[in-house]
Every structure is written in C-alpha cells, then in structure tokens.
Structure 1
Amino acid sequence: MLRIIFGADDLDRVRVAERPDMSMELSLSVHGLVSGHCDPRFQVWRNRLRASWNPRTALLFDLYTPSAIPEFLTVRRDPGATESATAEAPEEPLRDHLRSVGGTRQLSAFARSVAAGDRRARRLLGNVTADYQTRAIDPYRRQIETIVTTDHGRRRRLGEPDRVLASLHPSVSWRRPVLSFPLVGSCRHDIRLDGRGLLLQPCVFGPRRPVIARFEDPRQQPVLLYPARIGGPLQPEPEPTPSRNLTALLGQTRAAALEAIATHGPCSTKDLAGLLDISTASASEHATVLADSGLTTKDREGRTVTHRPTPLGRALLAGHLPPPTRRRASTAAPRGAAV
C-alpha cells in the first residue's frame, strides 16, 4: 500500500497536467511491452509496431523491471533532439535507476556500459530511443494530446481538489489527509509531500493503476501518473510534416515550428514551446524569424503574443507557392525613351 500524506498547504498545490508528458508516455509504452499486458485498445498500435520492429529496440528492455520505469528517457518534438537529450541525460538519476535494476537481476552488458558512462553506449541509447519514438509515439501524438487534454478538462470541471483526488481511479482511496492505493506485492510505503503539492498526470500508456514518480528528490514536485480514459482503439493519425526541401531551407526545428503553428494555431509562444518541447525563449526566437520572413503573423493581446500562419506559410507547407500577383502594365513611356 502506498500512502501519500498531504500537509496543510499541499491540497492547494494539487493540479492536473494540461498536456501529456511524452517522455513518460514513451517509458510507459515500453513498460507495457516488457510486462506483456494485452489491452485490446492497443492492439492496432502493437500490430503496427510489430510490423516495423527494429530489433535494437529490445535494448531498452534491459532498463526495466516490473516495478522500475526509467525516468531519464527524453522525448523531444524532433527525434534528433531526442537522441541528443537522452544520450546526455544526467548521470545521477541514470546510475541510481540502473543500480535499482541491478538489485533485482544481473545487468546486461549494454546496461552496464550505460551506467559506466560509456560514450558509445550512451549514444546508442539516444539513437534507440529516438528510433522507437518515431515508430511508437509520433504517429499517435495528436491522439495522445487529445485524450490527455480531454481528461484535464473533465477533472477541472469537478472543481474542488477533494473531488478530483477521489475520482482518479477505483483503486485510489482519498480520506483527508491521505491518498492511498495498492502497490505491486504487499509492501507499504509512505510519502510526505511536505509542501511540494502533487501533479496529477493523465497517461495514455499508463499502467492499469496509478504510479508515483519523481518523489524521492525533496526539491521536485511528485507526479502521480494515472490512466486516462481512452474511448476506443489507439489509431495512428497522419499528421502533416514539413517536406525535406522546406526542412533544408528552414532547419528542422523552425520547419516544425511553422507546421505546429499551421496545425494548432493561433497559438501563444508558450504553447509553441510546449508543442516543440523547447524553451519559451527558443520558441520566441523561431517565431520571430518566421514572422519576419512573412510565413506567420504575430498578434499581441496584453502580454500574450499569438502566432498564425500566412497564406505563404501554408503554401510552403503544402509544397507549392501561391501564384504571383500580376501588376498592371503601365501605359506611360519610360523617362528618356523614344516614342
């Protein structure tokens, strides 16, 4: 049994995440493959993944146990950025996790090399994570976002934190000041929030019961991962992506920014940063270049700047240019010309 004990101010610091945590979705999806859970709603996802399976993906399995999920795998909008960020993951969380894995079974040669900080192993980890992302996460990104944002709206309509906490899952019990639910096995563990509050993260690939994460560091807010309500099978949805020529012209991230603005716009700079998994400052820089190039426009309301695509921006994404505007021919003779 896990008991999360709330202090005097913790209930006021409970919030439901507005957007999915794609890094956690990736980690949880691999955990589902490792554990062998066969939820029929993920059968299409499994079949498509099996058809395009890269044998090297099995290296990720070396980082899991039934109860240990690596939190250092990182997902960015651009798989190239995913590869770099995962390969450069902070040493301490990575080693702590693999130490816990090694306490239950013998580590593989790959896991030992990653734990030792071997550069080739770390680059391989980043490469495998990015490759898995393109097959297992990116084709379903839009549906995942819709499911999570819908769940957020549903919890928000409940209003009071007490009602939200009591509605999370049938296995969860909320009796002030304790939130409790069963753990794997018969172990018992108490977590005191001590003013940190609690982030409630709806997850599409989440396990069948809630899971607590990021609770050991007193400087971090703990995250309670709980299964979001999924109406039907998870289906890939083709999403427009910038052409190779446009990516070569603008660069990977800037082309992705134009695509995100066209797909989700009008959106704020903060929204754009979230869509691209980059900092707000970087999103602002890319949006400014796009606007200065005539591919997007910027509207300001108070302190909020929103971005929307121009016809030229949409035309570039579609792979063609709009017809040029015809100028009326002048009937006047050029100065100095003979008539």
Structure 2
Amino acid sequence: MVRVPRLVFSGLDVGRIRFAIMPFQEVLKAARGLGLRHPPPGLAGWRHSVRPLLPAAARPVLALCGAHPRHLPDFLTPQPPARPWSFEDELSAALDDPAAPVMADTVAFADVLRSTVPVVDDLIQHPDEGRRILERSFVALHRAVLAADWPRMQAQLAADVSYRARLAARHGVAAMLDTLCPQFVRWRYPYLEFAGPPAADHALDGRGLVLVPSMFLTDGVHRQLNDRQQPMLFYPARTAAEFWRDGARFAGPDGRLAGPLGVHRAVLLRTLAARPGLGTGEVAAALGVAPSTASAHVARLRRDGLVMTVRSARNARHELTPLGWQLLDANIA
C-alpha cells in the first residue's frame, strides 16, 4: 500500500539510532540551495551573498545538485563511521572508493531526471574522469563558500546533536524522535513518518538509523535508503532558521570570529553558562540593559556560533553552543 513515507522500527532499531555530522553532505546541501531554481526557505540572502564568489570550477556540482529537488546518486552519501569526519575524509569516501557502484547509482539518478545533465553523462560514459571532475568541483565550491564559515556551522550542528542526546537521556528516545522536526517528522511507534512523496513503508530490519542535522536543509527531510548502508535521515538543525534569519554571512577568507566579544557579551556567555535557557527579558535583567540591547547581544553571539536560540510559540530561550563552552573553558571570554 502506498502512503505517507514511513520508516518501520523494531525494538532493536530504536537501540541502534545514532547521530553524525557530515561536512561533505553540507556542501551537497549548499550546492542544492544554489542550484535549484527557487532557493529553499531562508537561503535567499545567503545565495545572493555567495553567488559572486562562485568559481567556474563549481558549475558541475551546481548542475548535479540542482538537477532534482530530492534525489542525488547514492554513492555521494557514503556510510559515516563512528569517528568524526572531515570534509576531505568524506569526499574521499564518496569519490575514491573503487567498490562504490558509481555506474548503477548514476543510471538510477538519470532515470528520475527530466533532462540530461553533462556531468551525469560523464559519470556514465567515463566514470573515472567523471569522478575527478566532481572532486575538483566540490573542492572549489567548498573553498569558495563554506570552508571559512564551517566552524560556526559545525558548532550549530554539534549543539543540535548534544541537545538531542540530552533529551534522549532525560526523557527517552521516543521524546527525542517526537521532537526531531515537528513540521516534517512525526513519531508514532513503530513508525517514523516524514514529509515526502507517497512511498511504501521501509523496514529498518535491525540496522538502526543515522540521524544527520543540516544547516542548509530548511525545506524538509532527506533520506538515504538502500540495501548496502545503514539508513540515514537528514533533517533541519533546530537552529538553522535562526541562523539564516540573523542574516548570517561568511566570516571572511581567514574564518576567524569577527572582533573581540566586548564586556557585555562576555558577561552574557558566563550568565548563560550558569543559567542555560534564559529568555531575552531575563538576559536583559541579568546584564542591566534594555531588552532591545540584550537581543542585539544575543544575535551577535548567535551569528558567531557561540549561542543558540530555540523558539517555542512566542518564547525564545538561549543557551551556549559547544563553541561557546570552548571559549569559556579557554578563558577567552
């Protein structure tokens, strides 16, 4: 029976849920945001700011990732290991593995396209050269628009994973899944339903699930389901909307955080370390400033990847990201 797409869990699958941060997949999602005719929600300003930075070498990746709003060849999403991955490690796993079924995955991708894409034809007709073209293109795109700003984005993703791990530890895995991404995902054991075209149920069959937060995925969830990998579900990080709403811009070619913190922002970091989850009014009272000034300080720290803000109804609560904790631990603040 064809219905809303669902993953079917067993008790064993629930115990095999894990998280991963995948930097190369963020480049894929960024390329998708640049390549699609209409930008995903929240990314219009970012697209406008980075388009002048795009080198010609990035065009094959933009064409590939913009060819279909939901699909890419599966070989571009390798199985994440238990250890953290760098962009280079993940890129190598995707494009340098001789066992990867590049031909079969690319042909399957070509079948869902309405028109041909030159880089797809290259992958089918000349797989080795097609891989090298993509590798050079991914590296060029990464260097141009993502590498400098990656520390801030990684801090947001790490904060997302940390929050969900704490939630699962305190309230159980069901509570974590139930709040994963309410606008796109719904948990009703044994089913995890998610937004997407109608599809038959997909049983996890004891393989568990890898949950991957994304800063660039703002318009839904993406799945990676095949017989050779642990299933993966990519979802919007809980701070992604705030990150883009703040008008985040890349930090510049050196990737450093912009300027010293200043006294009020240093005090704000220490305050949130001692009292996580404060609202803006409470922050203002703690700092002895007007709410508008407190909101501006929070926004600046959020843009720098030091603070995350979570909204529920009309309330906004602020807490430190892992990068914020690192700054305090090193006595930088």
Please, what TM-score do these two structures have when normalized by structure 1? 0.61
Do the aligned residues in 2 keep the contact of 1:211 with 1:225 (CA within 8 Å)?
yes
Change (3 A) 1:221 1:84: closer
Secondary structure of the structure 1 residue equivalent to 2:43: helix
Tell me what 2:226 maps to: 216
Distance 1:125 1:34 in 2: 15
Distance 2:28 2:223 in 1: 14
Change (3 A) 1:209 1:194: same
Distance 1:201 1:33 in 2: 21
Q: Does 1:98 align with 2:110?
A: no
Residue from 237, 241, 254 that aligns with 2:251: 237
Tell me what 1:203 maps to: 214
How far apart are residue 191 of structure 1 and its match? 1.0
Change (3 A) 1:74 1:128: farther
How far apart are residue 239 of structure 1 and its match? 7.4
Do the aligned residues in 2 keep the contact of 1:197 with 1:221 (CA within 8 Å)?
yes
Matches within 5 A, 1:42-61: 42-60=43-61, 61=63
Do the aligned residues in 2 keep the contact of 1:28 with 1:69 (CA within 8 Å)?
no
Distance 1:7 1:74 in 2: 25
Residue from 1, 14, 22 that aligns with 2:17: 14
CA distances 1:40-73 after superposition (whole Å, capped 9, x unpaired): 7434532332112223422221363122124444
Distance 1:102 1:55 in 2: 23
Do the aligned residues in 2 keep the contact of 1:142 with 1:237 (CA within 8 Å)?
no
Q: Does 1:175 align with 2:188?
A: yes
Amino acid at match of 2:116: L
Please, what TM-score do these two structures have when normalized by structure 2? 0.62
How far apart are residue 125 of structure 1 and its match? 1.7
Secondary structure of the structure 2 residue equivalent to 1:183: coil
Change (3 A) 1:10 1:107: same
Change (3 A) 1:74 1:56: farther
Secondary structure of the structure 1 residue equivalent to 2:196: coil
Gaps in structure 1 of 5+ consecutive residues: 242-339
How many residues are aligned here? 234
Distance 2:19 2:77 in 1: 21
CA distances 1:230-273 after superposition (whole Å, capped 9, x unpaired): 223333235758xxxxxxxxxxxxxxxxxxxxxxxxxxxxxxxx
Q: Does 1:166 align with 2:178?
A: yes
Residue from 61, 64, 69 that aligns with 1:62: 64
Secondary structure of the structure 2 residue equivalent to 1:10: helix
Distance 1:34 1:239 in 2: 23
Do the aligned residues in 2 keep the contact of 1:52 with 1:135 (CA within 8 Å)?
yes
CA distances 1:120-152 after superposition (whole Å, capped 9, x unpaired): 333222111110111122122111111111111
Gaps in structure 2 of 5+ consecutive residues: 79-84, 256-333
Do the aligned residues in 2 keep the contact of 1:212 with 1:223 (CA within 8 Å)?
yes
The two structures, once aligned, show a CA RMSD in angstroms of: 2.8
Do the aligned residues in 2 keep the contact of 1:166 with 1:174 (CA within 8 Å)?
yes
Tell me what 1:190 maps to: 201
| Identity between Structure 1 and Structure 2 (%) | 25
